[in-house]
C-alpha cells in the first residue's frame, strides 16, 4: 500500500519508534517496503483484472535455488472452499472475506515426475535439504507476490495456520505427494474504514551484526523494543497483556503452543517427504 503522504522518515519512525537507523537511502521501492502492514479487513470490491497473474509473474521473478522452482500455488476464490480452508486454518474470518486466497506450496513432485518420465533417479529429493529448498523457494516467491500486490494498492496477510491441519488441506486441494502447504495468503482491497497500522520491528542492533555476531547488542535492543511495542499497543488501543518478550516466549513455550503443528514431521512423512 503506497502512502504518498508519508515521508521515508515518517515510515521509519513508525517502523522503529525512536530507534530510527541513520543513513537510509530513500526511493519509491524502499518506501513501498517500509509501508508494509498485514491487512485483515477488505472492502467488497473485486480485485482488478490481472491481479493474480501479475502477482504470479512477480513471484516467478524471485530467485530460486538452482533454478529448480520447487514451488507451486493454488488460487482459491470459491466461497465454499474458502470457508472450509478458513475452518481448517484457525477459523480465521479474513480467509472467508478475502476475494482471493492463495495457498503457497513447497512442490518437489514436479521434478520427481519429470525425472521419472525420463527414467532418471531423483533420490536427492528424499533429503531434508530438498524440503528446505522447496520451503525457501515458496517463501521467496510469495514475498515477491506480496510486494506486487502492495504496489497495486492491495493488502495481504500470510496464513501460517494453513499448517494446523496440512493433511486436510492437502485433501481439499487434491495435492499430489511431495507437495506441502507452506502458508496461505489472503489478498484483497484494504477496507478504508479499518486501516491497518505499520507494526514496529526490533531495532537494527538486535538483528544486524557487523563482521561477527555481537551478542551483547541484543538484550538492550530487545528491551528497547518492549518499550516501543508498549507505545504501539497504547496508540492502537490494543488491550495487550505483557510485552513482546512475554508474547514471544508464550508462542514458543512448548508443543501445546504450536497449534497442532508439533506433529509436522510425521505429517510431512505422510505427505511423501522422507526428510533423510
Ligand atoms: C509465515 C507467516 C505466517 C503468518 N500467519 C498468520 C496467520 O495465520 N494469521 C494472521 O492473522 N497473521 C499471520 N501472519 C502475519 C503476522 O502476524 C504479521 O506479519 C506480523 O504480526 C507482523 O505484522 P505486519 O505484517 O503487519 O508488519 C503470518 C506471517 C507470516 C510471515
Per-residue pLDDT of the chain (276 residues; tens, 9 = 90+): 445 579 999 999 999 999 999 999 999 999 999 999 999 999 999 999 999 999 999 999 999 999 999 999 999 999 999 999 999 999 999 999 999 999 999 999 999 999 999 999 999 999 999 999 999 999 999 999 999 999 999 999 999 999 999 999 999 999 999 999 999 999 999 999 999 999 999 999 999 999 999 999 999 999 999 999 999 999 998 888 889 999 999 999 999 999 999 999 999 999 999 999
In-domain check, residue 120: yes
In-domain check, residue 49: yes
Measure the CA–CA gap between 265 and 68, rounded to whole angstroms.
Answer: 23
- The Å distance, Cα 112 to ligand 1 centre, comes to 32
Backbone φ and ψ of 203, nearest 5°: -55, 155
Nine cell digits for residue 22: 541513520
| Top mutation candidate among 157, 197, 228, 233 for ligand 1, by most atoms within 8 Å of CB | 157
- The Å distance, Cα 38 to ligand 1 centre, comes to 7
Beta bridge pairs of residue 158: 185
Backbone φ and ψ of 245, nearest 5°: -65, -40
Q: How far is CA 3 from CA 22, 29, 148, 157, 194, in A?
A: 22, 12, 15, 18, 15
- The Å distance, Cα 60 to ligand 1 centre, comes to 22
Protein residues whose CB sits closer than 6 Å to any atom of ligand 1: 36-38, 40, 92, 157-161, 183, 199
Alpha-carbon 95 to chain mean position: 14
Question: What is the residue with the minimal CA distance to atom 20 of ligand 1?
Answer: 38
Specify the pLDDT at position 237.
87
In-domain check, residue 50: yes
Residue found under cell 470459491: 78
Number of domains in the chain: 1
Instruction: CATH number of the domain at 46, please.
Output: 3.40.109.10
Domain of residue 110, residue span: 38-197
Measure the CA–CA gap between 139 and 234, rounded to whole angstroms.
Answer: 32
Specify the pLDDT at position 239.
85
Specify the pLDDT at position 1.
44
Amino acid at each position: 500500500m503506497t502512502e504518498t503522504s508519508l515521508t521515508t522518515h515518517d515510515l521509519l519512525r513508525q517502523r522503529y519508534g525512536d530507534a530510527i537507523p541513520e543513513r537510509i537511502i530513500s526511493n519509491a521501492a524502499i518506501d513501498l517496503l517500509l509501508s508494509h502492514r498485514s491487512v485483515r479487513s477488505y472492502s467488497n470490491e473485486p480485485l482488478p483484472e490481472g491481479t493474480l497473474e501479475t502477482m504470479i509473474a512477480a513471484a516467478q521473478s524471485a530467485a530460486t535455488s538452482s533454478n529448480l522452482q520447487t514451488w507451486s500455488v493454488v488460487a482459491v476464490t470459491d466461497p465454499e472452499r474458502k470457508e472450509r480452508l478458513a475452518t481448517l486454518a484457525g477459523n480465521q474470518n479474513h480467509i472467508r472475506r478475502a476475494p482471493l486466497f492463495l495457498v503457497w506450496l513447497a512442490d518437489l513432485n514436479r521434478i520427481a515426475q519429470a525425472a521419472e518420465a525420463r527414467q532418471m533417479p531423483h533420490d536427492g529429493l528424499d533429503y531434508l535439504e530438498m524440503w528446505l529448498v522447496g520451503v525457501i523457494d515458496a517463501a521467496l516467491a510469495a514475498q515477491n507476490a506480496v510486494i506486487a500486490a502492495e504496489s497495486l494498492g492491495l493488502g495481504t496477510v500470510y496464513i501460517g495456520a494453513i499448517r494446523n491441519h496440512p493433511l486436510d488441506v492437502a485433501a481439499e486441494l487434491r495435492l499430489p505427494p511431495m507437495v506441502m502447504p507452506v502458508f496461505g495468503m489472503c489478498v484483497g482491497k484494504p477496507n478504508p474504514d479499518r486501516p491497518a497500522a505499520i507494526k514496529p520491528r526490533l531495532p537494527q542492533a538486535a538483528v544486524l551484526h557487523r563482521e561477527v555476531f555481537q551478542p551483547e547488542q541484543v538484550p538492550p535492543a530487545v528491551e528497547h523494543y518492549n518499550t516501543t511495542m508498549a507505545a504501539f499497543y497504547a496508540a492502537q488501543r490494543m488491550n495487550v497483556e505483557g510485552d513482546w518478550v512475554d508474547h514471544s516466549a508464550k508462542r514458543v513455550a512448548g508443543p501445546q503452543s504450536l497449534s497442532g503443528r508439533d506433529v509436522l514431521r510425521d505429517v510431512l512423512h505422510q505427505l511423501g517427504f522422507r526428510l533423510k
